[in-house]
Amino acid sequence: MHELSIAMQLVEQIVAIAEENRWPRVDEVELEAGALRQVIPEMMQMAFAEATDQTLAQGALLSIRDIPAKARCNQCTLEFEPEPDNFLCPECRVADVEVLEGNQIILKTVSCEAES
Ligand SMILES: [Zn+2]
Mean pLDDT, all residues of the chain: 95
**CA torsion, ordered 76, 77, 83, 88, to nearest 10 deg:** 20
Residues with CB under 5 Å of ion ligand 1 are 73, 75-76, 78, 89, 91-92
How many helices (H) and strands (E) would you count in the chain? 2, 6
Q: Which CATH number is 104's domain given?
A: 3.30.2320.80
Ligand 1 centre to CA of 100 (Å) is 15
Kindly report, residue by residue over 59-90, the tens digit of the pLDDT: 999 999 999 999 999 999 999 999 989 999 99
Residue range 102-108: average pLDDT? 95
Containing domain of residue 59, as a range?
2-115
- How confident is residue 35, by pLDDT bands cut at 50, 70 and 90? very high
Which pLDDT score is estimated for 116? Answer: 53
User: What angle in degrees, to the nearest 10, is found between the helix axes of 2-20 and 41-52?
Assistant: 50
